[in-house]
Amino acid sequence: MPEIEIRDRNNSIVEKVTVSEDVFGREVRADLLHEAVVNYLANQRQGTHAVKTRGMVRGGGKKPWKQKHTGRARHGSIRSPLWKGGGVVFGPQPRDYGYKMTKKQRRLALKTALSAKLRDGELLVVDSMEFDRPRTKDMIALLKGLGIDNGSVLVVVPEKDDNVYLSARNIPRVDVVRAADLNTYDLLVHNRVLMTREALMKVQEVGG
């Protein structure tokens, strides 16, 4: 069974806990991780891009000149796609890029990402992470004490904690997420993952 070290704010090991083999002992599935990342990014796309077709462009209701005997090509509207200022043919229209992965696939991808982070030594667990008030300096001191202040960090908390969130908000490349909202993309895009003991328990519940 995999084991995870629980550390204090000074980076000293206070305990070792056994974690779920099903969540933290998975083989890496690169194909599944790729699918989960592409799915996440597709679902984040707004899809609000749009251009005007000839039916949307203003004007052009009158035929520019008569059909025959002018010596010029026949035209029915100055808003034809052939004209400058006319409509666009087959241009982008608002659409939803999102698609669904099955619940089984999403959970397996999350477990694979967690297993990879643990195996690569990129997952740290602290006994507690409590701040009396929002203070960026305190969060920086915590990250520096744990030796993870030189890269991107994903901080995982058990429940919404405004003090933690506000303390990390102004630190570049540091993000805070609830255990229930943890996803494969966030895990892979950050160099390190920092979570509390309580968040670790909740992640195991979510993963299971």
- The DSSP bridge partners found for residue 170 are none
Cα-to-chain-centroid distance, residue 1: 30
Query: How do residues 6-30 score in pLDDT, each as one tens digit?
Result: 999 888 898 999 999 999 999 999 9
* Average pLDDT value over all residues in the chain: 93
pLDDT at 162 over 80: yes
Query: How do residues 44-70 score in pLDDT, each as one tens digit?
Result: 999 999 999 999 999 888 999 999 999
pLDDT at 206 over 80: no
Query: How do residues 136-153 score in pLDDT, each as one tens digit?
Result: 999 999 999 999 988 999
Q: What is the bridge-based pairing of β-strands 13-18 and 153-157?
A: unpaired
Sheet containing 13-18, strands listed edge to edge, beginning at the edge strand earlier in sequence: 13-18, 3-7, 123-126, 192-196, 153-157, 174-178
Question: What does the DSSP 8-state code read for residue 185?
Answer: H
**DSSP assignment of 15-76, as one string?**
EEEE--HHHHSPPP-HHHHHHHHHHHHHHH---------TTTSS---S-SS-SSSSSS---S
pLDDT for 39 equals: 97
At residue 208 the predicted structure's pLDDT band, cuts being 50, 70 and 90, is low
Domains delineated in the chain: 3-45+99-207 (3.40.1370.10), 51-91 (no CATH)
Model pTM?
0.83
pLDDT at 189 over 80: yes
At residue 207 the predicted structure's pLDDT band, cuts being 50, 70 and 90, is low
Cα-to-chain-centroid distance, residue 155: 14
Mean pLDDT of 116-132: 93
- The DSSP bridge partners found for residue 153 are 174, 192
